[in-house]
Structure 1
Amino acid sequence: MKRLLVFFGGIVGVLSLLFIGTTVLSKESGATSSSDPNTLIIYNWGEYVDPDLIKKFETESGYSVIYNTFDSNEAMETKVKQGGTRYDLIFPSESIIPKMIEEGLLLPLDHTQLTGTEDLSSFLMNQSFDSENTYSIPYFWGTIGIMVNTDEIDSSLITGWSDLWQPAFKNDILMVDGARETLGIALQVLGDSQNEKDPDKIAAAVEKLNALRPNVKAVLTDEIKTLMINNDAPIGIGYSGDAAYVMAENPAIRYIVPDDGGAIWTDNFAIPKTVGNKAGAYAFINFMLRPENAAQNAAYVGYATPSEAAKDSLPSELTQDKAFYPEPSAMELMEHYEYLGKDTVEAYNDFFLEWKLGL
């Protein structure tokens, strides 16, 4: 009997551990079946908010936050479209917002419930993808440019995208694994828009990329940061926030915004159709728009804040760096990413995949 009791006691112990483990896993993985009105479920890019701010928000508001992450706009859109999972607040990039509006996946924002929008940079507001900010307001913004290891390459040799084609850079370049970004570079070198829909111009951009193949060392995503930090490649294409992180780890890296084009992008607050806690969503947006919180978040994440009030409290060596906060004259040469429609997006993806397979 004693052995039997020990046996059953062991089973109960194992089941208890499994229950506790399942509960912890549910919290950490962001299980989104909660109907608790005091829970706020956020769906955001990975490592895209200061965790200390989430704790601060929970303490101030009384809400409990579940934080889920996605790695692409398409993955996020699919989850929201399926509708079986509750999300209260999402952070789509500008290029996907028109599509999500068309599909009825976003709810109009009640601007009377928002505070702090008056501090947002005017050049980021009322853009064509959401002309009156009916469905979104900017969360972070930045550029895409060229990281150069100045210990290996004279950075004065690179001022624009077109310089990447120099024969001297054979097997030196880490290209970003993105169809819009990579094809956009070639399109701008040819004098066309990165939002081009003309099939002939897109095909010409692919031919231009083919000529770049000898210089391409690899096509990667987050790995570019590690390789640039470790001096494993002298040139890398990347976003401004990634470049800020790399430069903090490797002082030899310089970030160059191309003078023959470039892109401005925004990631945005938006409330999806799956929302179960609107009040919590508005509370979090307003909390993050407070200048002291927006500044703390920008310092943690590394991307440019859209809050002018927050910008004023950031270190001047950061905000005066024209690579990360470009002059208005430089931004006039840059384009915002636009949604190109399903057929054109598929064409970009197909062309890009073919190009990668040919490397």
Structure 2
Amino acid sequence: MKKLIYAALGILLATGLLALGAKHFENAQSAATGDGHSGKVLNIYNWGAYIDPALITKFEKQTGIKVNYDTFDSNEAMLTKIQQGGTSYDITVPSDYTVQKMKQLGLLQKLDHRKLTTLKYYDPFIMNRAFDPHNAYSVPYFWGTLGITYNDKYVKAKDVQTWNDLWNPKFRNDIMLTDDARDVFGFALISMHKSVNTTSNADLLAAKGKLDALTPNVKAIAADEIKMYMAQDQAAIAVGYSGDASEMIAENSHLHYVIPKGGTNLWFDNLVIPKNAKHVAAAYKFINFINEPKNAAQNAEYIGYSTPNWAAKKLLPKSITDQKEFYPDDDMIKGDQVYTNLSQYKTQQYNDLYLEFKMNRH
């Protein structure tokens, strides 16, 4: 819920993708109509800055298939566009609960595992999750956790080990929150020992009340801007994704990432083939290509997120894989929770309460 998808490094990444776009990427209209049914086209819809552009070039040269590449910034935006059906994408990258929702809406093709020659490289821990039993409709792309990034110039490690630590009055106007209703309510619910997928009105109202009490400590609620603020020492604490933390830490050695004790959200971004895909053979070729260990390792090192590919992990530098906050052992993520799809009514309730929380800050 998540992916993909900038500060200093982020600006360079975005610039690189734009430059690549001039050579390789088409807009949505060309994805819908370009090159007809030649079979030499692949239309991908992914989070922004969520692939190494060099791998697109490599795939095109290796297969002769032209890649048209569009990006989105939220699961909801992606889902809306897929539902509208104006553009026929061959691959997209929904997060866990969105896979479940797309499946329920009949928007996905069931995968033919016989065509997935790289399926053997996936870590069994990542597979067969409740949002897609037996990976009938999806295969993992990247995974990670929701956690706390802190700057050791302003914060001591011992003071940010649990979600409840965020409510410490000493952190007044020090905390940046990722702008996502499920994530913000998620850590509030976990701090109360509740499920991140609760449908209880009482639980949600209690979480809203607890979030309101956090308001004095909240410096800002933002998206990718958080990475810039943290990298430039303009904020002390941020709540966000492990992959974003990895990017920030690469820019600022005073930053550290913590998986809070007591549990957090464990998230998975996934590759799927939409129901109305027109270049299915090319989609399978790409899924196999991106999961070849050498390619998956290159992609993981470039993006900074955790690969679900055990063979690729072996190819990564130990300086990356030895970082337990990004490749945690079982004890570190014991009790972590994965988002599941909620009804439209409950989703709206989460969103409405979240909007009230944001408005109460002003």
- TM over 0.5, yes or no? yes
2:175 corresponding residue in structure 1: 173
Task: Tell me, in whole angstroms, the C-alpha distance in 2 between the residues paired with 1:153 and 1:101.
Answer: 43
Distance 2:319 2:241 in 1: 19
Task: Tell me the CA shift for residue 274 of structure 1.
Answer: 2.1
Counterpart in the other structure of 2:41: 39
Contact 1:85 1:274 in 2 (8 A): no
Instruction: Report matched runs for 1:120-269 at 5 Å.
Output: 120-269=122-271
Q: Quote the offset at 1:28 in angstroms.
A: 4.4
Mapped contact 1:144–1:237 kept (Cα < 8 A): yes
Q: Of the candidates 285, 291, 294, which is equivalent to residue 292 of structure 1?
A: 294
Contact in 1 for aligned 2:45/2:92 (Cα 8 Å): yes
CA, structure 1 residues 337+29, in 2 after alignment: closer, same or farther (shift >3 Å)? same
Deviation for aligned residue 1:195: 1.1
Task: Identify the match of residue 320 of structure 1 among 302, 308, 322.
Answer: 322
Contact 1:145 1:238 in 2 (8 A): yes
Question: Which residue of 60, 71, 82 corresponds with 1:80?
Answer: 82
| 8 A Cα contact 1:115 1:289, kept in partner | no
Q: TM-score, normalised on structure 2?
A: 0.91
Instruction: Tell me the distance in 2 between the aligned counterparts of 1:330 and 1:166.
Output: 23
CA distance in 1, matches of 2:110, 2:119: 15
Cα displacement (A) at 1:24: 6.2
Deviation sequence 1:193-221 (CA, Å, 0-9, x none): 11111111011000010110110001001
> Are residues 26 and 148 of structure 1, via their aligned partners in 2, closer, same or farther at CA, if it must alter by over 3 Å?
closer
Aligned pairs for 1:84-123 (under 5 A) are 84-123=86-125
CA distance in 2, matches of 1:242, 1:98: 24
In the TM superposition, residue 27 of structure 1 has moved relative to its aligned partner by: 4.5
**CA separation in 2, counterparts of 1:187 and 1:121?**
29
- TM score, norm. by length of structure 1: 0.92
CA 1:247–1:286: 2 relative to 1, 3 Å: same
CA distance in 1, matches of 2:321, 2:22: 40
Q: In structure 1, the residue corresponding to 2:108 is in which secondary structure? A: coil
> Residue 338 of structure 1 is aligned with which of 324, 337, 340?
340
Please report how far the alpha carbon of residue 147 of structure 1 lies from its aligned counterpart in structure 2 after TM superposition: 0.6
Does the residue aligned with 1:122 lie in a helix, a strand or coil? coil
The sequence identity of aligned pairs, in percent, is 45
Q: Deviations over 1:123-167 (max 9, x none)?
A: 211111111111001010011110100011112211011100001
Deviation at 1:233, TM superposition (A): 0.6
Report how far residue 83 of structure 1 moved: 1.2
- Structure 2: tracts of 5 or more residues without a match: 1-20
Residues of 1 paired with 2:296 and 2:259: CA distance? 24
Q: Is the 8 A contact 2:24 2:66 kept in 1?
A: no
Report the Cα distance in structure 2 between the residues aligned to 1:337 and 1:160, rounded to whole angstroms.
20
**Which of residues 272, 275, 278 is equivalent to 1:276?**
278
For 1:257 and 1:304, the matched residues in 2 are separated by: 14
> SS in structure 1 opposite 2:332?
helix
One-letter code of the match for 1:246? M
Give the AA of the match of 1:29.
N
Larger Cα-atom Rg: 1
CA RMSD of aligned residues (A): 1.4
* Kept in 2: contact 1:80–1:273 (CA 8 A): no
| CA distance in structure 2 between the partners assigned to 1:157 and 1:332 by the alignment | 21
State the Cα distance separating 1:29 from its structure 2 match: 3.0
